């Protein structure tokens, strides 16, 4: 039984496809009964800004946005749930979203710039290491 098992994800990348993968893995792990924490740092933190979640480019074949436009069309055609819905699902299923304090500092991001309604806490590397040590799955995305 998965109860008590934990997954800890670092979302370092801000690209559309990578943040999508992170959210799918995060909600998937919650659905399988795990506890999940997602740490948003560096370019990943940018995606926690208001109305920025799906604004990153594709990590490959972006072609000045044309690639992303095609990808979004395909996702819609295949009825893949939108990122904004997935982050709400993640939150509803009890997943924790943590924003990296240091990134906020160096990038000049204030709490008011971020989607505070989905953020569980603001933290630094020690919190991540402590959680990662107790985790069965850790990913750096």
Q: Which residues bind other proteins (CB under 8 A)?
A: 1-3, 24, 27-28, 30-33, 78-81, 86, 89, 92-93
For residues 80 and 118, which CB has a smaller minimum distance to other proteins in the complex?
Answer: 80
Residue 27 or 135: the one with the smaller Cβ distance to other proteins is: 27
Q: How far is the CB of 120 from other proteins (least distance, A)?
A: 18
Report in angstroms how near the CB of residue 62 gets to other proteins at its nearest.
23
Tokens representing residue 139 in the block:
């990913």
CA distance 80 to 137: 25
Min dist CB 81 to other proteins, Å, is: 5
Residues 54, 18 contacting (CB under 8 angstroms): no
| Encoded tokens for 24 | 């799918």
Whose CA is closest to 56, among 24, 17, 15, 20? 15
């Amino acid at each position: 039984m998965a109860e008590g098992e934990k997954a800890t994800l670092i979302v370092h990348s801000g690209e559309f496809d990578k943040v999508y993968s992170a959210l799918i893995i995060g909600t998937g792990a919650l659905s399988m009964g795990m506890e999940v924490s997602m740490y948003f740092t560096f370019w990943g933190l940018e995606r926690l800004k208001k109305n920025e979640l799906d604004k990153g480019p594709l990590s490959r074949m972006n072609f000045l946005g044309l690639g992303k436009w095609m990808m979004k069309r395909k996702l819609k055609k295949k009825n893949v749930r939108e990122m904004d819905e997935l982050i709400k699902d993640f939150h509803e299923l009890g997943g924790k979203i943590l924003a990296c304090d240091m990134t906020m500092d160096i990038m000049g991001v204030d709490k008011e710039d971020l989607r505070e309604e989905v953020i569980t806490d603001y933290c630094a590397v020690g919190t991540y290491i402590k959680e990662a040590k107790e985790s069965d799955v850790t990913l750096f995305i």
